């Protein structure tokens, strides 16, 4: 019987996940489909029950359900539990639904796609202390990055993540991050300040950015955020958010099928849709 997968969220109509997963499924000749489902906060439990009855093989979870789905699942992977968020659910052979988080690891894969794996000793600065930052920090640590500083407008939130990680992980203010920016080899922008197209939306001044730095943003629409544009002008190597989107999807696909799909198959098509090159 045809297998079906889904992404649940609210809003959901702009999600590019169905396009990406269907492209992978088609290119591999799988008898499967992936559909977007508009699920409100109020209907999460009932929707999940319905999906189970209808034999959903697996699904992605997006805003606003990444935390709320956890108590409804049969099992949660240890890393996703630490992150406090699930973006991928797998129906196992025993019929139980298990949650994973592929966002953070998806980010690290996309970073290493561009710059390789030889930068693990660099000083890493993560801007922001929301859900995305949390996932990325845990994944960076898991993948061997050992010098991590989290800077946030509300420093307490950065400290809270540090407390759950290792004593060596540091927290600081955005001002301090901006003043000491030259010391960092990798800078990762996870705040929602970048969602505003204005030049004034930069979360920190880039005046002291080293021209050898690697700068990443998790936003992929627009591809070149003001933060990345400014960093590139100053000589930095930039990593757009598109790679993270593709790899979090590829990791989910691997959980469902055991096959890691080819990122390149979808990258060009997604770039065309986003107006990049």
> Which residues does the annotation mark as catalytic?
66
Q: How many CB atoms lie within 10 A of CB 244?
A: 28
Binding mask of the shown chain, residues 201 to 230, with x at each position contacting ligand ATR by CB under 6 A: --x---------------------------
Q: How far is the CB of 158 from ligand ATR (least distance, A)?
A: 8
State how beta strands 124-127 and 186-189 pair. parallel
**Is the separation of the CB atoms in 98 and 90 below 8 Å?**
yes
Nearer to ligand ATR, 161 or 238 (CB): 161
101 binds ligand ATR (CB under 6 A): no
Alpha carbons 12 and 87: distance in angstroms, whole number: 14
Name the one range near ligand ATR by CB under 6 A: 93-101, 104-112, 148-156, 264-272.
Answer: 148-156
Name the one range near ligand ATR by CB under 6 A: 42-50, 151-159, 163-171, 260-268.
Answer: 151-159
Alpha carbons 109 and 247: distance in angstroms, whole number: 7
Q: How far is the CB of 103 from ligand ATR (least distance, A)?
A: 9
Is the four-CA dihedral 219, 222, 227, 230 of positive or negative sign? positive
- Total number of residues binding ligand ATR (CB under 6 A)? 15
Nearer to ligand ATR, 36 or 203 (CB): 203
Q: DSSP 3-state assignment of 237?
A: strand
153 binds ligand ATR (CB under 6 A): yes
Burial of 231 (0-12, 13-18, 19+ CB in 10 A): buried
Nearer to ligand ATR, 191 or 257 (CB): 191
* Residue of 52, 157, 159, 267 that binds ligand ATR (CB under 6 A): 157
Nearer to ligand ATR, 203 or 261 (CB): 203
Q: Which residue is nearest to ligand ATR (CB)?
A: 130
**Is the separation of the CB atoms in 18 and 4 below 8 Å?**
no
Q: How far is the CB of 191 from ligand ATR (least distance, A)?
A: 3
Alpha carbons 126 and 136: distance in angstroms, whole number: 9
Q: Where are the alpha helices (DSSP H) in the chain?
A: 17-27, 44-53, 78-83, 103-115, 131-142, 155-164, 174-179, 226-233, 242-257, 263-274
Binding mask of the shown chain, residues 160 to 199, with x at each position contacting ligand ATR by CB under 6 A: ------------------------------xxxx------
Name the one range near ligand ATR by CB under 6 A: 10-18, 125-133, 222-230, 255-263.
Answer: 125-133
132 binds ligand ATR (CB under 6 A): yes
State how beta strands 58-61 and 88-91 pair. antiparallel
154 binds ligand ATR (CB under 6 A): yes
Q: How many CB atoms lie within 10 A of CB 53?
A: 8
87 binds ligand ATR (CB under 6 A): no
For tokens 């559909």, what's the residue?
35
Burial of 193 (0-12, 13-18, 19+ CB in 10 A): buried
Catalog residues that contact ligand ATR under the rule CB under 6 A.
Answer: 128-133, 152-154, 157, 190-193, 203
């Amino acid at each position: 019987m045809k297998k079906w997968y889904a992404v649940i969220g609210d809003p959901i109509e702009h999600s590019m996940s169905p396009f990406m997963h269907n492209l992978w499924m088609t290119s591999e000749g799988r008898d499967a489909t992936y559909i977007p489902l508009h699920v409100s906060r109020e209907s999460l439990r009932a929707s999940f029950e319905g999906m189970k009855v209808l034999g959903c093989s697996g699904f992605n979870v997006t805003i606003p359900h990444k935390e709320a789905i956890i108590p409804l699942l049969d099992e949660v992977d240890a890393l996703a539990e630490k992150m406090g968020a699930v973006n991928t659910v797998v129906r196992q052979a025993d019929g139980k639904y298990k949650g994973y988080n592929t966002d953070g690891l998806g980010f690290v894969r996309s970073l290493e796609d561009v710059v390789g794996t030889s930068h693990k000793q660099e000083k890493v600065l993560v801007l922001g202390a929301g859900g995305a930052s949390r996932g990325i920090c845990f994944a960076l640590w898991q993948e061997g990055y050992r010098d991590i500083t989290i800077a946030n407008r509300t420093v307490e939130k950065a400290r809270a993540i540090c407390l759950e990680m290792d004593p060596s992980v540091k927290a600081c203010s955005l001002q301090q991050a901006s003043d000491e920016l030259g010391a960092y080899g990798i800078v990762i922008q996870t705040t929602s300040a970048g969602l505003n197209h204005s030049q004034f939306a930069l979360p920190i001044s880039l005046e002291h950015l080293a021209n050898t730095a690697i700068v990443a943003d998790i936003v992929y629409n627009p591809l070149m955020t003001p933060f990345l544009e400014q960093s590139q002008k100053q000589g930095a190597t930039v990593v757009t958010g598109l790679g993270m989107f593709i790899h979090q999807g590829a990791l989910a696909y691997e959980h469902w099928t055991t096959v890691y799909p080819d990122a390149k198959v979808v990258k060009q098509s997604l770039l065309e849709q986003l107006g990049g090159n």
